[in-house]
Structure 1
């Protein structure tokens, strides 16, 4: 049972047990049973025999209407890769209300759209001092969403319980403070179930350091997901794998020798290594061209962005 304030999602393997549970709740509380899920907290659920398609069509439609962008011209990518934004790009806005409202709404829209995670996180960094350039970048995200309103996550009914993740970092990508952006996508079978794009807490002195910090964050998320699956009684047939495209970080996770030049990463180093040495986790190298988390660390050109969106698992409906 998933509970959010007064909204519930109740599910189970046995319809009889589910019905009895609902009847038991109704004896103590006033309930309204809406039958099969179709809409929950702004997320639309389209059910077919093949699985569930999760979108936020109505939510983005309402947001476009509130911002007077219903008839805007769609665009293929949420951010321009050739025009880096900094804290002092453009002149400050006189009224900050609309900027903050729209960025807050976009944060909620990223629940079903990992492809806008980086762009929304980037805009969130300008909340305290938004400029006209930042506002134009936010409107570009809205234009991108206007052209991909029906895109979402498809959860197939036939799916293998195999847990794996992709982790990546854009070393020194932020031009204001040169702090790296780390990202990960966690998959259960073919389905992305958890993703994140955030700035790291400090400046990394090498790409290996930035990647390893991201690997440690991803390890924590994979362990939490694994714990949740165990509580739900779901056993995994194979050891979870984290794919990293940095050879140095991959070797560091497997090498039992602690390198002296990585002492400042001691906590992250031992945190990841304990799971690797105990056989609870594997860290494998993946080619940069196949690194799916790359789309969550920086703005990409249109061809590469489209390819990664397809590989990530975004769908305009049930995949053929």
Structure 2
């Protein structure tokens, strides 16, 4: 390294030592999380093995949970003294900023009332529409036209693939509170490398749909019985390029949607029964993970979860081993569904296809069917007049739990170990 002008060393063997902040280094995030985790564990918190960013502390009279996203934290619990204690400790150690009751976190807007809590990303959606000049566009009733089947090379290449990738990335974050756009975004992400004009038209339709549903989000009612249930479905060989199938699931805690997914399966399947069975296996893994995670919150289920599937063959394969001849070609890992069913982790129940809300995650639907199934996922528009009348006085800052949000901002590097 060359010496700056004006600096001279009498000893030619001396060199300059570069002092660099922790920010910008490759190991920065790892070192920060290690330091924060060690501090919380020393305070009596226990790190979850099923969600490594979750820390909990349990005493005879209180329960406190702390969730971390980089240097932003959400703190919740039923003991105000413990919440104050951990906030003061974090402030002494890291110089945090207390933002008060949880109302806005990483683009997620939280509204609370005696009826429950809603999560939406209204401001994020408005910013997205403003940046793309779609604030004045004409809304559409669904994210995709039912007859649309996107595939590679279906039209001329789009002139600005970088813009397409940026839009898909921003829409992916919007799916955190918008299961209604999940299937459309799943389709659009498959063409990130070489988008075409038709793919760009499809993403424009999604933006027009968001224009008409800016305030839409998830509603979590406060008066329901805590019980885990899920729905699983698939659409056979719908990909024109690979003939692979789309599988999806939705997981509910009571009447609250807590987990959902739409994904193209890794291999092509020989029958619709095999497709449904694979989707069932994926959903059973999610049920088991949620069961473990809820145990960290001391939510212990005395009765097995309920898993609904609208395919008779898939249910029979999972429940009856005599179907071995029909399933010899299916990978062993798919039979975890049968193993978990036999271990009484969940009960497998039928459901009419017309009532299967997961259809929203596996295929494009007509507007009437789309709007009929959407409320089944707990999706509502808080800014709709109809919901304001239904919920009476609307949502306010009061809530049945004591939620606090902290923001840890790294300003000074003095708390970093010298070895780091």
**TM-score normalized by structure 1?**
0.97
Instruction: Name stretches of at least 5 consecutive residues in structure 2 with no aligned partner.
Output: 1-65, 392-420
1:249 corresponds, among 314, 325, 331, to: 314
For the pair 1:152 / 2:217, whether they are aligned, the reply is yes
For the pair 1:287 / 2:371, whether they are aligned, the reply is no
1:40 corresponds, among 93, 105, 124, to: 105
Aligned counterparts of 1:161 and 1:265: Cα–Cα separation in 2? 35
2:253 corresponds, among 188, 196, 204, to: 188
> Partner residue of 1:66?
131
> Partner residue of 1:211?
276
Instruction: Name stretches of at least 5 consecutive residues in structure 1 with no aligned partner.
Output: none
Aligned counterparts of 1:215 and 1:280: Cα–Cα separation in 2? 13
Map of 1:1-320 to 2, 5 A cutoff?
Answer: 1-317=66-382, 320=391
Verify the 8 A CA contact 1:162 1:237 in the aligned structure 2. Answer: no
Aligned counterparts of 1:27 and 1:159: Cα–Cα separation in 2? 40
Verify the 8 A CA contact 1:10 1:18 in the aligned structure 2. Answer: yes
Aligned counterparts of 2:223 and 2:98: Cα–Cα separation in 1? 27
Task: From the CA coordinates, give the structure whose radius of gyration is larger.
Answer: 2
Aligned counterparts of 1:150 and 1:238: Cα–Cα separation in 2? 36
Verify the 8 A CA contact 1:212 1:268 in the aligned structure 2. Answer: no
Aligned counterparts of 2:132 and 2:274: Cα–Cα separation in 1? 41
Shift of residue 257, structure 1, vs aligned partner: 2.5
SS of residue matched to 1:259: helix
Shift of residue 266, structure 1, vs aligned partner: 4.5
> Partner residue of 2:416?
none
Shift of residue 51, structure 1, vs aligned partner: 1.6
Aligned counterparts of 1:263 and 1:22: Cα–Cα separation in 2? 57
Aligned counterparts of 1:123 and 1:156: Cα–Cα separation in 2? 32
Verify the 8 A CA contact 2:220 2:378 in the aligned structure 1. Answer: no
Shift of residue 270, structure 1, vs aligned partner: 3.0
Aligned counterparts of 2:253 and 2:80: Cα–Cα separation in 1? 24
SS of residue matched to 1:292: coil
Shift of residue 158, structure 1, vs aligned partner: 2.1
SS of residue matched to 1:53: strand
| Structure with larger RCO (C-alpha < 8 A, sep 6+) | 2
SS of residue matched to 2:375: helix
Shift of residue 280, structure 1, vs aligned partner: 1.6
SS of residue matched to 2:281: helix
Q: Is the deviation greater in 37-46 or in 236-245? A: 236-245
Shift of residue 210, structure 1, vs aligned partner: 0.3
> Residue deviations 1:109-133, cap 9 Å, x none?
0010111110000000111111111
Verify the 8 A CA contact 2:281 2:335 in the aligned structure 1. Answer: no
What RMSD over aligned residues (CA atoms) do the two structures have, in Å?
1.3
Shift of residue 268, structure 1, vs aligned partner: 3.6
**TM-score normalized by structure 2?**
0.74
Aligned counterparts of 1:124 and 1:76: Cα–Cα separation in 2? 22
Aligned counterparts of 1:239 and 1:120: Cα–Cα separation in 2? 33
Aligned counterparts of 1:93 and 1:134: Cα–Cα separation in 2? 8
